[in-house]
């Protein structure tokens, strides 16, 4: 089932252009059926997992490319499999008037399978292969419009992520040299680290930045806002579902299951990565406050929130890993609502900048309400899910009782203030500023999108509330996955 879940969307996406669908409806039915079937296979594989790995082939003896499903893989795979079908439904409506839909949905479907391959990777070699393949599968989506801005964004995206992967490759080589490369192990797989601890800590720093490039850790953050020129279904894919979460997931695997907390905790390596994560949290939030383009503002918000996850990982405790996984799940749900709303505003009104949103609630009341709710969740207002993940991170930082733990607490609190600024300035414009005269004279006053978009938006709005109100079993599941008990 693991292999089928990976191969089905990859092969189906590759074959999609060959069918030459006579209508967008037929193409949408095909793509959605593949997506739903893949999600069913994924959920079945997670449900039936038994801890064994499935070796596809060996590069050399003792170095396999293999798949498996443990607790951490289950968390990432379930998140992706539950979100992707709804994201695809949104994309069908959004892409109706875009060019080259066959190419778009082919790569969109392929990216699903590659993301699942990364989630189910049994060792660092397999994860590295799918990490690189994910760049190749999403690059045509970033370049989809094929204009100068898209080509520039694609070039920047490829340069940063492939360059980052080169640093990750260095970490891979050393993990093979000094450890058991066959399988991830909670606590680390570096069985031959004795006498080489300092060297391996420096190598870990390279790997953290390298794999963290997809999570937009500083100084590699700039590619993510630039990539917002892509169609909104792509930016939702990049920022909420696949690519950036793949970066955080890869760093979690590198930290917990390859180098291990025994080697890294209470050393300069932990201090360095925790300081870098805290800096990126504030950098992303400050840049979001400064940015006036709505999608780029949300992109900088993603930069900030991804480093919440990296911060939890850098704490190198089970509580920190739990907070990181909680924010990986809950941020994906919150951020996809914000990007879906931004895409609906762009499609229905053509407005892209914060100052153009004034009075928008008169034209798009449902979209503005969803944006406001998601903004409150991102701020951490209870009982929405954003409060739960931030509380987990705060308590994990406090439990370390170290100076850097207190720095992390201060970072989270200061970033919350900045989050209120960059998300509620647009909300204030929507509700408390008058509608511009040129928009007020529009004969088609009501601009909320069609049901295909609205249903997806409100499904995730409901998820934000349910995950907040019923967080205890979810957090218990995430805690078991973080500690390796599942």
Q: Is residue 35 domain-resident?
A: no
In-domain check, residue 426:
yes
Q: Is residue 274 part of a domain?
A: yes
User: Is residue 436 included in any domain, yes or no?
Assistant: yes
Residue 204 domain-assigned?
no
Pair 359, 433: CB distance under 8 Å:
yes
Counting the structural domains of the chain, the total is 1
Residues 6+ apart with CB under 8 A from 159: 223
In a domain, 212, yes or no: no
Of 218, 219, 215, 188, nearest in space to 201 by CA: 188
Residue 25 in any domain: the answer is: no
Q: State the Cα–Cα distance between residues 378 and 318, nearest whole angstrom.
A: 23
Q: pLDDT for 374-421, tens place per residue?
A: 999 999 999 999 999 999 999 999 999 999 999 999 999 999 999 999
Containing structural domain, residue 407: 268-486
d(CA 105, CA 141): 9
Nearest Cα to Cα of residue 299 among 356, 230, 251, 367: 230
Q: Which of 178, 207, 191 is nearest to 273 (CA)?
A: 207
| Mean pLDDT, 10 residues at a time, the chain of 486 residues | 94 91 86 95 93 88 92 94 90 77 90 95 95 92 84 89 93 93 90 89 96 91 83 70 88 95 92 96 96 92 94 95 95 92 87 90 92 95 94 95 94 95 94 77 71 88 94 94 87
Q: What angle do CA 185, 190, 196 make, to 5 degrees?
A: 160
What CA–CA distance (Å, rounded) separates 486 from 477?
Answer: 8
Instruction: Please check whether residue 385 lies inside any domain of the structure.
Output: yes
Instruction: Classify residue 147 by its DSSP letter.
Output: S
- Which of helix, strand or coil describes residue 65? strand
| Cα-based distances in Å from 377 to 282, 289, 334 | 18, 18, 7
Closest CA to 344 of 297, 295, 301, 390: 295
Residues 123-138 pLDDT 10s: 999 999 999 999 999 8
pLDDT score for 440: 64
């Amino acid at each position: 089932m693991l292999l089928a879940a990976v191969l089905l969307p990859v092969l189906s996406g590759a074959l999609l252009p060959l069918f030459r669908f006579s209508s967008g409806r037929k193409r949408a039915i095909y793509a959605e059926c593949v997506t739903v079937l893949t999600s069913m296979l994924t959920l079945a594989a997670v449900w039936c997992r038994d801890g064994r790995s499935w070796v596809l082939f060996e590069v050399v003896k003792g170095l396999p490319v293999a798949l498996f499903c443990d607790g951490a893989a289950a968390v990432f795979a379930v998140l992706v499999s539950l979100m992707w079908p709804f994201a695809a439904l949104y994309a069908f409506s959004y892409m109706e008037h875009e060019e080259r839909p066959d190419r778009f949905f082919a790569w969109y479907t392929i990216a699903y399978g590659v993301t699942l391959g990364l989630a189910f990777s049994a060792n660092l070699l397999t994860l590295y292969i799918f990490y690189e393949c994910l760049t190749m599968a999403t690059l045509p989506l970033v370049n989809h419009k094929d204009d100068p801005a898209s080509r520039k964004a694609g070039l920047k995206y490829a340069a940063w992520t492939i360059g980052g992967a080169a640093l990750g490759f260095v970490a891979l080589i050393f993990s093979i040299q000094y450890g058991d490369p066959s399988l991830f192990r909670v606590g680390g797989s570096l069985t031959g680290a004795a006498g080489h601890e300092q060297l391996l800590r420096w190598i870990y720093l390279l790997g953290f930045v390298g794999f963290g490039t997809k999570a937009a850790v500083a100084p590699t953050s700039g590619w993510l806002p630039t990539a917002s020129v892509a169609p909104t279904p792509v930016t939702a894919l990049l920022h909420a579902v696949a690519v950036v979460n793949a970066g955080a997931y890869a760093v979690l695997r590198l930290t917990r299951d390859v180098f291990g907390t025994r080697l890294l905790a209470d050393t300069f390596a932990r201090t360095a990565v925790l300081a870098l994560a805290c800096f990126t949290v504030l950098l992303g939030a400050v840049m979001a406050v400064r940015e006036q383009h709505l999608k780029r503002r949300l992109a900088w918000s993603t930069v900030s929130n991804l480093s919440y996850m990296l911060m939890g990982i850098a704490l190198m405790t089970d509580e920190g890993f739990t907070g990181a996984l909680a924010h990986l799940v809950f941020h994906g749900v919150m951020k996809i609502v914000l990007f879906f709303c931004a895409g609906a505003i762009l499609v229905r009104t053509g407005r892209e900048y914060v100052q153009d949103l004034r009075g928008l609630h008169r034209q798009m009341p449902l979209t503005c309400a969803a944006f406001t709710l998601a903004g409150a969740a991102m701020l951490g207002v209870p009982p929405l899910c954003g409060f739960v993940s931030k509380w987990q991170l705060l308590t994990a930082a406090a439990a370390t009782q170290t100076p850097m733990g207190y720095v992390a607490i201060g970072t989270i609190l200061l970033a919350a203030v900045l989050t209120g600024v960059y998300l509620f300035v647009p909300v204030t414009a929507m509700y408390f500023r008058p509608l511009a005269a040129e928009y007020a004279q529009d004969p088609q006053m009501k601009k909320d999108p069609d049901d295909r978009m609205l249903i997806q938006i409100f499904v995730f709005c409901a998820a934000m509330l349910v995950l907040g109100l019923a967080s205890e079993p979810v957090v218990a599941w995430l805690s078991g996955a973080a500690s390796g008990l599942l």
